[in-house]
Amino acid sequence: MRLWQRRKGVSALFDALLFFIIVSVACAALIFSAWRLPVTGGISQSDMGSRTSDIMACALEATVGPVNYSAGGQDMQFSGTALGAIQMILGVQSSFQEWNTSGLEGAVSGVLGSLVERPYHFVLDGRLVGRPGGIFISDAPGELSGMSAGRWSCSVPLDVDGIECQLSLYIWR
Amino acid sequence: MHRSWTKDRRGVEGFFEEILAFIVVVIAVGAFITSAYSSFLAHERQNALSSLSDDCYTFSRALRSFDPIVERGVVFQEPLPGRLDSQKLDGLNMSVLRNGLGTPHHLNLSFTDRVLGTVWVLGDKPPAGPVQRAVVTAPVLISWPDGRRDPGSIEVVMWD
């Protein structure tokens, strides 16, 4: 008997059950896609650029200190804005052979850590043009590879003792 | 003539089989239409949530520059966006906010000083359960009378 003539297992009921299974899979896919939709909305990715600028502006104007640091073998104390602290770090590192600015860097990191909320991470990077020293502050130094996937940045020019500097803030998740 | 039930082919390829197949197909099509419609409704709700998120973000931007709560410049007394005056936050209430930044949605606002831990909370109590809501936080500075400016945040929770 030829195949198309054999009715065993090729009944209408079999076809209907096959149709039922396929439709059930489609229903499950639809319900799963609807179930995955969030019920809580938030800031969109396109708005993160202006948010990064806001974070930078707030961070630079925030108050830090009193913080201890050393330059040229002398212990000193700093109180002022985070912008002043960054300028102090860059100025000390470019002018002195011996320095310890970890306290100042910790204070700036604390300000940025207060403004950049999880799941976002930050890097603050600043280099003096043609001079030694620089600032590199991050809350996740081991995860810098994630920056290339999607990040937002804001850069501002700085003047440190007459030397040009570009200060950049990078935020990513 | 007596036939054993294993050899009885009646009802397998005949009318009754078609009825059974038809019922199965109707159930399958009904389930598909129901799930497709519920999925459509879910995406409609997603569009509404997207619109709510946009409103929430716009509101948070406006709040950062809201004249009655921002610090003013020393010389020209110009409003300084993103710098909130702690003394003005003490006197803030929802009627001032609604008059200045009118929104048709329900609101819950939190202003937090991240250094001192001081929190100002205004507005309605957020609903419990899986209610659609938009949550946006924005960075700000909280200015204190002694001249300190602490990093802080605004959190806006908005729902219908």
pLDDT, mean of residues A69-95:
88
The percent of residues above 90 in pLDDT, for chain B, comes to 32
Q: How far apart are CA B147 and CA B135, in angstroms?
A: 31
CA-atom Rg of chain A in angstroms = 29
The one-letter amino acid at A96: F
**B132–A17 CB contact, under 8 Å:** no
Answer whether residue B40 is part of any domain. Answer: no
Of B24, B82, B135, the CB nearest to A54: B82
Rounded CA-CA distance A99/B92 in Å is 46
DSSP state of B127: P
* Cα A170-A79-A68 angle, rounded to 5 deg: 85
Give the β-pairing of A99-100 and A63-71.
Answer: antiparallel
Q: Which CATH number fits domain A45-172: 3.30.1140, 1.10.287, 2.30.30, 3.40.50?
A: 3.30.1140
Concatenated DSSP letters of A110-166:
HHHHHHS-TT-EEEEEEEETTSS-EEEEES-GGGGGGGGTSEEEEEEEEEETTEEEE
Over range A62-80, report the average pLDDT.
88
For residue B13, tell me if it sits in a domain: no
Of A27, A37, A41, the CB nearest to B134: A41
Mind giving me the DSSP string for B72-121? E-TTT--EEEEEEEHHHHHT--HHHHHHHS--SSEEEEEEEETTT--EEE
Q: If you measure CA to CA, which chain A residue comes closest to B132? A: A39
pLDDT at residue A19, rounded to an integer? 93
B8 domain-assigned:
no
pTM recorded for the entire structure: 0.75
- Mean pLDDT, all residues of chain A: 83
Per-residue pLDDT tens digits for B98-125: 888 888 888 999 999 999 999 999 888 8
User: A120-148: per-residue pLDDT in tens?
Assistant: 889 998 888 777 778 888 887 665 555 55
Domain count for chain B, please give it: 1
B94 φ, ψ to 5°? -65, -30
Would you state the pLDDT for residue A9?
A: 46
CA distances from residue A136 to A80, A94, A123, B39, B151 in whole angstroms, order as listed: 20, 15, 7, 48, 20
**What is the three-class DSSP state of A173?**
coil
Average pLDDT value for chain B: 85
Identity of the residue numbered A11: S
Q: What is the pLDDT of residue A163?
A: 81
**Which residues of chain A make contact with B17, given a CB cutoff of 8 A?**
11-13
| The token pair that represents B73 in the structure block | 């410049």
Average pLDDT over every residue of B68-82: 83
The reply to whether B1 falls in a domain is: no
Provide the domain limits for residue B113.
51-159
- Alpha-carbon distance of A30 to A156, in angstroms, equals 48
- B19 occurs within a structural domain: no
A32 or B2, which is more confident: A32
For the residues B16-38, what does the mean pLDDT come to?
A: 89
Q: What is the pLDDT of residue A3?
A: 47
| Min Cα–Cα distance to chain A from B88, Å | 19
Whether pLDDT at A62 is above 90: yes
The beta-carbon neighbor of A23 closest among B28, B38, B83 is B28
Q: What is the mean pLDDT of residues A15-23?
A: 91
For B36, the closest of A11, A30, A39 (CB atoms) is: A30
Distance from CA of A148 to the nearest CA of B (A): 24
Using an 8 Å CB-CB cutoff, list chain B residues near A50.
Answer: 61
Minimum CA–CA partner of A35 in chain B: B42
For chain A positions 82-141, those within 8 Å of chain B (CB to CB) are 111, 114-115, 117
Instruction: Report CB contact under 8 Å: A58, B82.
Output: yes
pLDDT confidence band for A14 (50 / 70 / 90): confident
User: Is B27 within a domain?
Assistant: no
Domain boundaries, chain A: 3-35, 45-172
pLDDT of B15 above 90: no
* Residues pairing with A156 in the sheet: A167
Sign of CA pseudo-dihedral B120, B126, B129, B131: negative
Residue range A45-64: mean pLDDT, rounded: 87
ipTM rounded to 2 decimals:
0.73
Provide the pLDDT for residue B26.
Answer: 94
What pLDDT score was predicted for residue B54?
87
Nearest by Cα to A54 from B59, B143, B152? B152
Residue B20 inside a domain? The answer is no
Q: How wide is the angle at C-alpha A133 spanned by C-alphas A130 and A136, nearest 5°?
A: 120
